[in-house]
Structure 1
Amino acid sequence: MADQSAGIVFIHGAWHNHETWDHVVPILNARGIATTVFDMPGAGVNARLPASFLKRPLDSQAFATEPSPNAGVTQDERTDFVISQVRETAEKCGGKVVLAGHSLGGATVSHVVERVPELISAAVYITAFMLPPGMPPVAMIQDESMADALVPGLFAADPAAVGALRVDFRSEDPDYQARIHEAYAGDVGEEMFKKAEAHLHCDEPAQVATVPSPVTKERFGQVPRHYIHCTEDRAVTPAGQKKMIALMDEAMGNKTAVHVMATSHSPFDADPQGLAKILGDIALG
């Protein structure tokens, strides 16, 4: 086994890929922290795109009704994949690792920690879905505390009909593009946001949002957890973040360590130094 060193395994959020972490990873590596990034099943290079998305100008009716070729991706598939990454990183680092997830990636953090708590030194939720036992992400998405979230207003199809949470990141409509920008990264400059947006895929598998959180006090509850609370988030609202923290603390009978960042839903682009400082300090103990 390798000499013991700090390591962080990253889980990107819905529609994103491994490039989410491009501005954060070099800072952590410079502190001697090993990092593992990847495209989740159904994301990045693993995403399958509807044919209508690739044809421009867009046929909005076809895009609204074409079944998603990405719809078959399951939460179990994602959980198993990340566990393999955690095991590999833990072996490389010679000990437990930090598991950090953004947005909907937080759901996978919970599933993984519940399965392999012995491999996780800390679970970190970056303005993410940290859900109490039995709650699926869709219940939180529909919660009153999330009423001001901008992302559902971007959906270009009925998730139940096409099997995906579908957003047209290649839209040529300036109003729609402005709403995308505001929803995800209102505090990030246009040029940087356009580079980030180019990596987003259109179809997030809908069924992963329906799987209840599996966490228990006996397993998940024994792992230290941290929440990075982004106060200017328009995707996962500040009120929603606070509600999830309160619900989880009550369910687990212990406290989440909360770190506050005055950023949008994309702290990795808005303030990568600040995010890397929090993550690095957690990893180094």
Structure 2
Amino acid sequence: MDRLHPRRDKFHFVLVHGSGHGAWCWYKVIARLEGAGHTVTALDLASSGIHKSDAGSIGSVAEYVSPLMNFLAHSVLDHQVVLVGHSLGGCAISYAMEAYPEKISKAIFISAFMPRSGDYFVDPQLLQELVSNGLVRLLHIANHSEANSCEPIAMYFDSKNALQYLYNKSSEEDKCLALACLNAAPIVLAKECINLTPERYGSLPRFYIRCEEDACNFVFDNKALAYNPPHKVFSLPNSDHSCFFSVPDALVKLLLDICM
């Protein structure tokens, strides 16, 4: 099969959420894609959504992305899937691209990280910047081996600042949903690097979607597009960072246009 031009009109999308989110955030996209006859798999990464693990208990990147890896490893697929990663989900789908390139036709990054080999899953310097500007907070636990010492075990979005940075064009209903469902992500993501090779990860076409009203563009687009350019870049007008909330119809149309 030609990965850039698959000869069919129905696709299997695997949707991967970003930090703090879960499969729940894709509900509008899932309904529209399935309504059009496509297959959709939306996953909760470890400690996310309704996954039962606690963020502070996740000990490695491999454990965090294991729901995605297990799906690709054990699913019997009669065709390649389209990976879609939002925000930090870009790192998760990159990990999967390296592991299972034969099961993937293409990867679509939505306002997402597109790491190079050797990059941290979450860049520690960027994490500190996000903590400094108030978007991200750290959850600490006492280190009993060192007196008066606390170390972070998880990171989570500040509710007030999340409304400004992540959902600035989203409806009030979707803002309420997000604030009710957001949870923490494991700090180990800022301690491990990702290994990617040209032969595996690099063999797959990558597409990037910019959200034009994304208040987090300074975090994602500029760096990702400059040093790891994709096959093609698309834009979503009038969309905040959470385009699955703010412009679901336009997002679904663009996903299908990329696949056709």
TM-aligned CA distance change 1:238 to 1:155, over 3 Å: closer
Question: Does the alignment pair 1:258 with 2:233?
Answer: yes
Query: 2:131, 2:138 within 8 Å by CA — same for their partners in 1?
Result: no
Cross-structure match for 1:79: 65
Any unmatched runs of 5+ in structure 2? Answer: 1-7, 141-149
Structure 2 Cα separation of the partners of residues 151 and 195 of structure 1: 26
Cross-structure match for 1:24: 29
Matched to 1:79, the amino acid is V
Question: Does the alignment pair 1:7 with 2:27?
Answer: no
Structure 2 Cα separation of the partners of residues 98 and 132 of structure 1: 20
Given the two structures, how large is their TM-score scaled by the length of structure 1?
Answer: 0.76
Report Cα offsets for 1:135-166 as digits up to 9, x if no partner: 114338629xx96x689513333668221113
Query: 1:132, 1:244 within 8 Å by CA — same for their partners in 2?
Result: no
Cross-structure match for 2:181: 199
Given the two structures, how large is their TM-score scaled by the length of structure 2?
Answer: 0.83
Compute the displacement of 1:73 (Å): 4.3
Compute the displacement of 1:6 (Å): 1.5
Query: 1:42, 1:73 within 8 Å by CA — same for their partners in 2?
Result: no
1:135-150 alignment to 2 at 5 Å?
135-139=119-123, 142=126
Between the two proteins, the alignment pairs up a number of residues equal to 242
1:242-281 alignment to 2 at 5 Å?
242-249=222-229, 255-262=230-237, 263-281=239-257
State, as a whole percentage, how many aligned pairs show the same letter. 28
Compute the displacement of 1:75 (Å): 1.2
Report Cα offsets for 1:87-141 as digits up to 9, x if no partner: 455x34x111101111111111111001110111001111111111111143386
Q: Which consecutive segments of 4 or more residues in structure 1 shift more than 6 A? A: none
Query: 1:86, 1:97 within 8 Å by CA — same for their partners in 2?
Result: no
TM-aligned CA distance change 1:277 to 1:210, over 3 Å: farther
Greater mean deviation of Cα atoms: 121-130 or 37-46: 37-46
Question: Does the alignment pair 1:216 with 2:197?
Answer: yes
Provide the secondary structure at the position in 2 that maps to 1:188. Answer: coil
Compute the displacement of 1:205 (Å): 0.3
Matched to 2:51, the amino acid is N
Structure 2 Cα separation of the partners of residues 8 and 151 of structure 1: 36
TM-aligned CA distance change 1:44 to 1:182, over 3 Å: same
Report Cα offsets for 1:39-70 as digits up to 9, x if no partner: 11111222556xxxxxxxxxxxxxxxxxxx62
Provide the secondary structure at the position in 2 that maps to 1:142. Answer: helix
Cross-structure match for 1:65: none
Any unmatched runs of 5+ in structure 1? Answer: 50-68, 170-176, 250-254
Query: 2:90, 2:109 within 8 Å by CA — same for their partners in 1?
Result: yes
Structure 2 Cα separation of the partners of residues 115 and 7 of structure 1: 18
Matched to 2:181, the amino acid is H
Report Cα offsets for 1:13-57 as digits up to 9, x if no partner: 1111111110011111122210001211111222556xxxxxxxx
TM-aligned CA distance change 1:158 to 1:216, over 3 Å: same
Query: 2:171, 2:245 within 8 Å by CA — same for their partners in 1?
Result: no
TM-aligned CA distance change 1:151 to 1:85, over 3 Å: farther
Matched to 2:187, the amino acid is A
Query: 1:47, 1:70 within 8 Å by CA — same for their partners in 2?
Result: no
Query: 2:22, 2:45 within 8 Å by CA — same for their partners in 1?
Result: yes
